[in-house]
Amino acid sequence: MFDEVLKLDDINIDNLAYLLARYQLDLVVVDEEKIPGSFWGDSEAGLVGNKLYARLDTPVHSIMHESCHYICMDEQRRANLDTNAEGDYDEENAVCYLQILLADDIAEMQQSRMMSDMDHWGYTFRLGNTRNWFEQDADDAVNWLNRHKLLTHKKPNYQLRQ
């Protein structure tokens, strides 16, 4: 559908910073070759404490994925966060689901583009692609998000996991 994934430089950075600030995350745009706190390296977003680090060439899906890890982790993990978000299988599914929901808060992204970018980047799901998983196979992710009070009426409520 798209030749390449949407990058930070393709969107309104101030709007993204506002979205992340709602979750007590500070977006820090860096020029360095190595992004601080990046688990995967290259252009992938990084997390250290409540700072989300990215370059202009960082994919938006990576920024949102790491942000959603921050949102979904408990307070103790957030307090000690440096590079590795950790988390288990169920939390990882919740992170993926939440990043799709939050894509609608990014005018240039929206859910369809997020799902396409996730497929393009190589996220894998049981039903073959992100959309099929999101629409047909993500009840466990929704239940996890509800159990940790991160959704209200199937929508993000801009709260951190407590």
Q: Which burial class, exposed, middle or buried, applies to 100 when counting CB atoms under 10 A from its CB (0-12, 13-18, 19+)? A: buried
What residue segments make up the domains of the chain, in order of their start? Answer: 8-156
For the segment 33-70, what is each residue's pLDDT rounded down to a tens digit?
Answer: 899 999 888 999 999 999 999 999 999 999 999 999 99
The mean pLDDT of the chain is 95
- Distance, CA of 129 to CA of 147 (rounded, Å): 25
Question: Which residue, 105, 112, 118, is CA-closest to 5?
Answer: 118
* pTM of the predicted protein model: 0.95
Q: What is the pLDDT of residue 132?
A: 95
- Distance, CA of 136 to CA of 85 (rounded, Å): 27
What is the three-class DSSP state of 15?
Answer: helix
Residue 147, token pair as written in the block: 């159990």
